[in-house]
């Protein structure tokens, strides 16, 4: 439970710090141009695009729903990952999981998480890509109701297939993180928050580059009606070439790496505090008895 709580809280903190980059990469994945009469789209820098979104009031579109999604996603993921990890370690009597074990457990935990939280991310994509210039401020619950009324309950699970494939992203990241940690430390509990930051950043770069086309397809799935994954891939490649699958990669890598690094850093800090509080509580109970 302490891993679930620390993962949830650290996820909220880290995504809040990097959210403007989430907005930018999502809009680019949705193949929506950030227009500027003075600068052609191909020549715009990340900073220019962020400033334009800020001027339009769209920089933090969907922040509240994203925080809800991150809190739920990280809580579910870390709860199941740590629970299954402990079961496996108790079975094998080892201190650390092997690469295959951590990958398998990560995939199971990630699949459960992706299914449970998919409606939140479907709504969040809509909130990000709908400009506030329309004058209507929509909520997460409002968007979910709108999706159900317009397209039915099943529409909340659009993009679930690529989301399940994207389970490989945190699986790859967390497995690489675990293996680098195992190579440096004797016990999985010895790592410092600073080293968590570094290893979290390195592992996220690899995972993001490998899975980015699927992230693009997932975003498209939340916005398109009645299109298969392959139809969307064909359309993007036909209109923008193979690199069209990697639109928004630069801001996404920066955001993902910073978010992941902060997440592991905050998670380790919060986890250390929670463990200390749990020990103090146990000592207090023993004294009372």
Q: In the predicted model, is pLDDT for residue 40 greater than 70?
A: no
Do 201 and 15 form a contact (C-beta atoms < 8 A)? no
Q: Given 1.20.1050.10, 1.50.40.10, 3.40.30.160, 3.40.109.10, which CATH number is that of 2-288?
A: 1.50.40.10
Residue 161: is its pLDDT beyond 60? yes
State the Cα–Cα distance between residues 86 and 2, nearest whole angstrom. 13
Question: Are 68 and 140 within 8 A, CB to CB?
Answer: yes
Q: Answer whether 171's CB lies under 8 Å from 179's CB.
A: no
- Helix (H) / strand (E) element for 200: namely helix 193-223
Of 103-107, 132-136, 283-287, the range with the highest mean pLDDT is: 103-107
* Dihedral sign (CA 89, 202, 32, 24): positive
Of the candidate ranges 69-78, 127-136, 193-202, the one whose mean pLDDT is the lowest: 127-136
Residue 137 to residues 8, 51, 128, Cα–Cα distance (Å): 26, 21, 11
**What gap in Å lies between CA 289 and CA 279, rounded to an integer?**
16
Q: Are 270 and 259 contacting, i.e. CB atoms less than 8 angstroms apart? A: no
What's the CA gap between 156 and 201, in Å, rounded? Answer: 31
Q: What confidence tier does 275 reach under pLDDT thresholds 50, 70, 90?
A: confident
Output 281 or 116, whichever has higher pLDDT: 116
Ramachandran angles phi, psi of 29, nearest 5°:
-60, -35
How high is the mean pLDDT of the chain?
82
Indicate yes or no: pTM above 0.85. no
**Average pLDDT over every residue of 217-227:** 78
Between CA 38 and CA 51 the distance in angstroms is 14
Number of other CB atoms surrounding residue 87 within 10 Å: 11
Mean pLDDT within 18-36: 79
Q: pLDDT, tens digit, for every residue of 58-72?
A: 888 888 888 888 888
C-alpha dist (Å) from residue 191 to 8, 21, 82: 19, 28, 16
* Predicted pLDDT at 289: 65
Q: What is the Cα–Cα distance from 222 to 156, expressed in whole angstroms?
A: 8
Q: What pLDDT sits at residue 68?
A: 86
Q: What is the pLDDT of residue 148?
A: 92
Can you give the pLDDT at residue 37?
46
Q: Which residue has the tokens 């509240």?
A: 64
For residue 200, the model assigns a pLDDT of 79
Checking if the pLDDT of 35 tops 50, the result is yes
pLDDT digits over 172-202, tens only? 887 788 788 888 887 666 778 788 878 878 8
- Take residue 168 and report the two structure tokens written for it: 């490989």
């Amino acid at each position: 439970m302490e891993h679930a709580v620390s993962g949830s809280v650290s996820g909220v903190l880290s995504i809040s710090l990097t959210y403007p980059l989430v907005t930018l990469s999502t809009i680019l994945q949705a193949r929506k141009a950030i227009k500027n009469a003075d600068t052609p789209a191909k020549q715009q820098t990340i900073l220019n695009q962020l400033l334009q979104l800020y001027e339009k009031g769209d920089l933090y579109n969907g922040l509240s729903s994203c925080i809800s999604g991150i809190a739920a996603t990280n809580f579910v993921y870390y709860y199941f990952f740590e629970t299954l990890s402990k079961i496996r370690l108790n079975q094998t009597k080892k201190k650390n999981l092997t690469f295959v074990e951590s990958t398998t457990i990560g995939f199971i935990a990630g699949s459960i998480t992706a299914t449970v939280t998919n409606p939140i991310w479907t709504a969040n994509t809509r909130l990000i890509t709908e400009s506030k210039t329309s004058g209507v401020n929509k909520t997460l619950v409002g968007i979910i109701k709108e999706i159900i009324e317009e397209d039915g309950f099943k529409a909340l699970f659009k993009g679930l297939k690529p989301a399940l494939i994207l389970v490989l992203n945190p699986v790859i990241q967390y497995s690489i993180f675990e293996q680098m940690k195992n190579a440096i430390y004797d016990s999985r509990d010895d790592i410092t928050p600073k080293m968590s930051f570094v290893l979290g950043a390195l592992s996220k770069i690899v995972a993001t580059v490998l899975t980015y086309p699927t992230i693009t397809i997932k975003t498209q799935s939340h916005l398109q009606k009645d299109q298969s994954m392959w139809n969307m891939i064909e359309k993007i490649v036909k209109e923008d070439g193979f690199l069209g699958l990697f639109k928004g990669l630069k801001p996404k890598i920066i955001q993902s790496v910073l978010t992941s690094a902060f997440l592991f850093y905050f998670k380790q800090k919060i986890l250390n505090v929670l463990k200390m509080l749990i020990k103090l509580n146990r000592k207090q109970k023993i004294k009372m008895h």
